[in-house]
Amino acid sequence: MSVAEAAWIHAGLTAFVAAFQLALAAGAPWGRAAMGGRYLGRLPPAMRVASVVQPVILAGLSGLVLARAGVALPAWRETADPGVWAAVGVSAIAAVLNLITPSRIERAIWGPVALGLLATSVWVALKAA
């Protein structure tokens, strides 16, 4: 897989996660598939705020991956070289949390997505020139 392909896969997975989080923020009753499965239906207001903040953070991290790969955001390139490791770190933490969560549906859906984000961010971090 090329660095560019890995970066775009990372961006696509990030968009998927962001869309899910924004749906939760808007009141989608999918709480069982998020936040450790603690909420069976709609998330409470404080968790909905978190579901708005998360996509913003993830978009920034994905921007760093795209910039590091040299496929987007050229103005971020200098920051992306060290910053891509933030994306790797967040992806690693997310992968662990999504694989150990008590929510079976969260493990099934978000575990593989988080592993994909981790694999693609590591690939870009190590392989981009």
- In order along its 129 residues, the chain shows pLDDT tens digits of 999 999 999 999 999 999 999 999 999 999 999 999 999 999 999 999 999 999 999 999 999 999 999 999 999 999 999 999 999 999 999 999 999 999 999 999 999 999 999 999 999 999 997
How many structural domains comprise the chain? 1
33: domain range?
3-127
Short-list 46, 116, 109, 107, CA closest to 87: 116
* Amino acid code (one letter) for 72: A
CA distance 10 to 121: 7
